[in-house]
Structure 1
Amino acid sequence: MNGVSRGTTWRMYKKHKFLFMMLLPALVYMFIFHYMPMYGITIAFKNFNFSKGIWGSDWIGLDNFERLFGTSSSFLRVLRNTLVISGMKLVIVFSGCIVLALLINEVKAKVFKRVVQNISYLPHFISWVIIGSILVEMLSLSRGVVNQVIEMFGGTPIYFLTEKYWFLFILVSSDMWQSIGWGSIIYLAAISGVDPALYESARMDGASRIRQMISITLPCIANVVAIMFILQIGNILSAGFDQIFNLYNFRVYEVADIIDTYAYRIGLSEGDFSLSTAVSLFKNVFGLILVIITNYVAKRLGHTGLW
Structure 2
Amino acid sequence: MSCGFPVSEGLGRLQIIKNNDLEELQELGSGTFGTVYHGKWRGTDVAIKRINDRCFAGKPSEQERLRDDFWNEAIKLADLHHPNVVAFYGVVLDGPGGSVATVTEYMVNGSLRNALQKNERSLDKRKRLMIVMDVAFGMEYLHGKNIVHFDLKSDNLLVNLRDPHRPICKVGDLGLSKVKCHTLISGGVRGTLPWMAPELLNGSSSLVSEKVDVFSFGIVLWELLTGEEPYADLHYGAIIGGIVSNTLRPPVPETCDPDWRSLMERCWSSEPSDRPNFTEIANELRAMAAKIPPKGQSPSQ
Same fold (TM over 0.5): no
TM-score range, shorter chain: under 0.3
TM-score of the two chains, using structure 1 as the length reference: 0.22
Compare relative contact order (CA 8 Å, sep 6+) and give the higher one, 1 or 2: 1
Structure (1/2) with the larger helix percentage: 1
Structure (1/2) with the larger strand percentage: 2
